[in-house]
Amino acid sequence: MKQEVMLSNSQGYPPEDGMLFVRTSGIVTTMVQVPILALGLLVVALTIPAQISFGSTKSLDLTIYPDGSAHVFSEISANPFDPEYYVELFGTEIDNFVAEDENGFLLSGHIEGNIAVVETLGASSLKINYDTHDLISKQARIWTFNIDSSIDYTLLMPKNTVVVGMSNYPLSMQVIDEQSQLFLPSGPLELNYFFGISDPLHVENPPTESGLNSSIWYLFGGIVAAGLIAAFLIKRSKRAIPKVHLDAKQFEVIEKPLEAETIFKLKPDLRDDDKELINFISANGGQAFESELRKKFLQPRTTMWRAVKRLERYGIIEIEKKELQNLVKLRKNLEDEQ
């Protein structure tokens, strides 16, 4: 604001009555500029939080694994004009984090605590996949799953589990490949379960007296049949077996890779997606290229590579370079985990 102070005498001293004359020609202009400047500052203040705002979650699907970890898949709407997007994760112990845009293109990012900072590259929708160990705890035989979701979501339980406690009622439930899938409302949830029966949604009626008697007879008949079979086998084994002399040089012992069922018995804690990989490799003659696995299971390169490396750490498979590709082969015997 420009102001000119005019003194009333030429000697530079104020008049005896002490009055000053102020020229106010710039006051009107200044009064117009101040509101405009204030409005600009307000716009800037409102714009800054928008650049670090969190995305709006459109869908959320969770899968519980038998080892106590959980897989999280969420689809989040994003502003294509924001260079980075902040995604709140369930927990801080995160593995196998993968972010994609709506076309399946991998996006880079990093994790800070329970926040993932993803570079959107103009994406209008983000697909987030990761594993976490912070949602499930165990005490004795009881496993406890805790979550607080802002939207309704699906929860896929492991096989052979029974739910013994739940803080919220599910909106619906169904069985998919012998696994219970619950559709749950938003809000906090505590779910208690344990492993034990084959169909957690099926509760059999208690047996009647006649049914109990029938079961006893069936059990007795089974014991008798088992005894007869055992006696027959023992008697047969006592027969003289003719000795055959074989020349070891005429035969070449070829070790075959372990069958899938044998691996599952030796490694009972494998994840379901790992079992599907092993089944496919076993049915393919015990080996398959990594590109074939990605094509079969529709997985991006990063996710499949992590799955293959996980099986290698378990000592189940070995990776061999062939024709500039990764050849995944089942081992002929299991090795200890590295």
The separation between the first and the last C-alpha atoms of the chain, rounded to the nearest angstrom, is 75
Taking the C-alpha atoms of residue 121 and residue 101, their distance in angstroms, rounded to an integer, is 9
Range of 16-25, 220-229, 306-315 with top mean pLDDT: 306-315
Residue 249: predicted pLDDT: 47
Residue 44 pLDDT more than 50?
no
Helix axis angle for 290-297 and 272-283, nearest 10°, is 120
Distance CA 191, CA 184 (A): 11
Q: Which residues pair with 183 in a beta bridge?
A: 154, 172
29 or 179, which is more confident: 179
As a whole number of angstroms, the distance between CA 190 and CA 149 comes to 12
- pLDDT mean over 249-261: 65
Q: What is the pLDDT of residue 35?
A: 63
- Which pLDDT score, from 0 to 100, does residue 30 have? 55
Element (H, E) at 153: strand 153-156
Average pLDDT estimate for 122-134: 90
SS3 220: helix
pLDDT tens for 85-125 read 888 899 888 988 999 998 888 898 889 888 999 988 888 88
Query: What is the rounded distance in angstroms from the CA atom of residue 233 to the CA atom of residue 235?
Result: 5
DSSP state of 337: -
Mean pLDDT across the chain, nearest whole number? 76
290-297 vs 301-313: helix crossing angle, rounded to 10: 120
Instruction: Report the b/e string of 39-62 with b at 16+ CB within 10 A.
Output: eeeeeeeeeeeeeeeebebeebeb
pLDDT value at residue 222: 58
Report whether pLDDT(39) > 60. yes
Structure tokens at 221: 């008949």
Across residues 41-55, what is the average pLDDT?
Answer: 50
pLDDT greater than 70 at residue 192 = yes
Residue 4 has pLDDT above 60, yes or no: no
Of 175, 176, 180, nearest in space to 195 by CA: 180
From the options 3.90.1300.10, 3.40.718.10, 1.10.10.10, 3.50.50.60, give the CATH code of 260-330: 1.10.10.10
* Number of C-beta neighbours around residue 293 at 10 A: 21
Intrachain domains 56-195 and 260-330 with the same fold: no
**Between 1 and 278, whose confidence is greater?**
278
Q: Which residue has the higher pLDDT, 128 or 15?
A: 128
Using CB atoms within 10 Å of the CB of residue 318, give its burial: 0 to 12 exposed, 13 to 18 middle, 19+ buried.
Answer: middle
Rounded to whole angstroms, how far apart are CA atoms 260 and 278? 6
Beta bridge partners of 287: 329
Task: Provide the pLDDT for residue 229.
Answer: 64
- Please state the domain extents for the chain: 4-51, 56-195, 260-330
Max mean pLDDT among 69-73, 197-201, 258-262, 293-297 falls in: 69-73
Confidence of residue 137 (pLDDT cuts 50, 70, 90): very high
Contact of 122 with 165, CB cutoff 8 Å: no
Please name the residues in contact with 178: beta carbons below 8 A apart, sequence gap of 6 or more: 159, 198, 199
Please tell me the CATH superfamily of domain 56-195, with its number. Answer: tricorn interacting facor f3 domain (2.60.40.1730)
Question: Which residue type sits at 296?
Answer: K
Residue 193, pLDDT score: 93
Upper half-sphere CA count for residue 81 (Cβ side, 13 Å): 3
What's the pLDDT at 191? 94
Give residue-wise pLDDT tens across range 193-233. Answer: 999 754 444 434 444 444 445 445 555 555 655 666 666 66
Confidence of residue 41 (pLDDT cuts 50, 70, 90): low
Task: Pull the structure tokens for residue 278.
Answer: 């092993």
Place of tokens 């570079």: 119
Residue whose C-alpha is closest to residue 89's, from 154, 155, 133: 133
pLDDT at 256: 76
* Whole-number pLDDT of residue 71: 93
What pLDDT sits at residue 93?
87
pTM above 0.85, yes or no: no
